Amino acid sequence: MNVLNFKKNLFVVMFLLLAGTCNNLVFGQAKKNRKYKVAVCDWMILKRQKLGSFELASQLKADGIELDMGGLGNRETFDSKLANPVEVKKFKDKSKEFNVGISSIAMSGFYGQSFAKRETVKRMVQDCIDAMKTMNVKVAYLPLGNQCDLRKNPELRPVIIERLRWAGKQVAKIGGVIAVETTLDAAAEKAFLKEIGCKRIKSSFNFSNAIENKKDIASELSILGKKHLAQIHASNTDGFWLQNDKKINMPKIKAALDKMNWKGWLIVERSRDTTDVHNVKGNYGANVAYLKKIFQN
């Protein structure tokens, strides 16, 4: 090979490498700037606070995961690795390696535990806020769960509000938000949030709650409004994939969110096909793909 040909070939190789790098940068920036991003709950894809959640989420084509704080049970706080700097670095490295973000830090232990009655709630919430700060995540997910269902247990409302006001003050110190999921309809939840009176406490809206309340999802979102909405669990209870669920009109939902100019994370929790409920890749891959088709196309 003469010198001239060598220089030409070297130029071509360098051009292709530079082009590839630019394409990756452009793609990464486009992903970062998306108005709507799609995530999956790590505990629902059977990777609760496991490093493998990032690789699996990448295989599912999700933009992120909702990272759980771990089990609660009768412990004083969550069974979490996120207070360990060595483990935290591993999570951050995996997130970067697979280009999978973190939508929120979840306190899913409160699905079955009482936020109103557990004595060490302040420690639990503070541990979650510390994890948010460490992982550079701005939203915490707090489901009030069966024991704090405000429709069935209205007498718990005062203590829940008191505890949420305290939590709002703590999360404000890191510029974060706590997204609370209730079983209330949108009008009642909006009144509940106004009674708390803290802009750091917002709603984690769940499609399945609106359906259970026999309400139109798009209308409920419009009633709740942009300023009260932190994130969305964009799925129904198990039965059908999102694209096959006649109770969910996804284009109408997107139109409602577009109209209020909301942006944020759409998180797949369930909507598994009950004929093959254990097929993680099949169920979540289909739901992620459908949400992306509607919201990112």
Rg (CA), the chain: 21
Helices (H), the chain: 3-32, 52-59, 85-97, 121-135, 157-172, 186-196, 207-212, 217-224, 250-259, 280-295
For the chain, give the mean pLDDT.
92
Q: What sign does the dihedral 76-77-83-89 (CA atoms) show?
A: positive
Residue of higher predicted confidence among 182 and 20: 182
Distances (CA, A) of 180 to 67, 81, 142, 158, 202: 16, 23, 5, 15, 6
Q: Confidence band (pLDDT; 50, 70, 90) for 231?
A: very high
Greatest alpha-carbon span in the chain: 87
The answer to whether 186 and 215 have CB atoms below 8 angstroms apart is: yes
Distance of CA 32 to the CA centre of its chain: 15
Residue identified by tokens 């097929």 is 279
Q: Confidence band (pLDDT; 50, 70, 90) for 21?
A: very low
Q: Confidence band (pLDDT; 50, 70, 90) for 297?
A: confident
At 105-127, the pLDDT tens digits run: 999 999 999 999 999 999 999 99
Residue identified by tokens 């284009």 is 251
Q: Which helix (DSSP H) or strand (DSSP E) does residue 39 occupy?
A: strand 36-41
The answer to whether 184 and 228 have CB atoms below 8 angstroms apart is: no
Q: Is the whole model's pTM more than 0.75, yes or no?
A: yes
> Which of 7-21, 45-59, 103-117 is least confident?
7-21
Query: Does domain 35-295 bear CATH number 2.30.140.10?
Result: no
Q: Using CA atoms, how far apart are residues 154 and 176, in angstroms rounded to an integer?
A: 28
Residue 17 has pLDDT above 80, yes or no: no
Q: Which helix (DSSP H) or strand (DSSP E) does residue 104 occupy?
A: strand 101-106
- Supply 253's token pair: 């939902």
Residue 208 has pLDDT above 90, yes or no: yes
- The domain spans of the chain are 35-295
Identity (one letter) of the amino acid at 256?
Answer: A
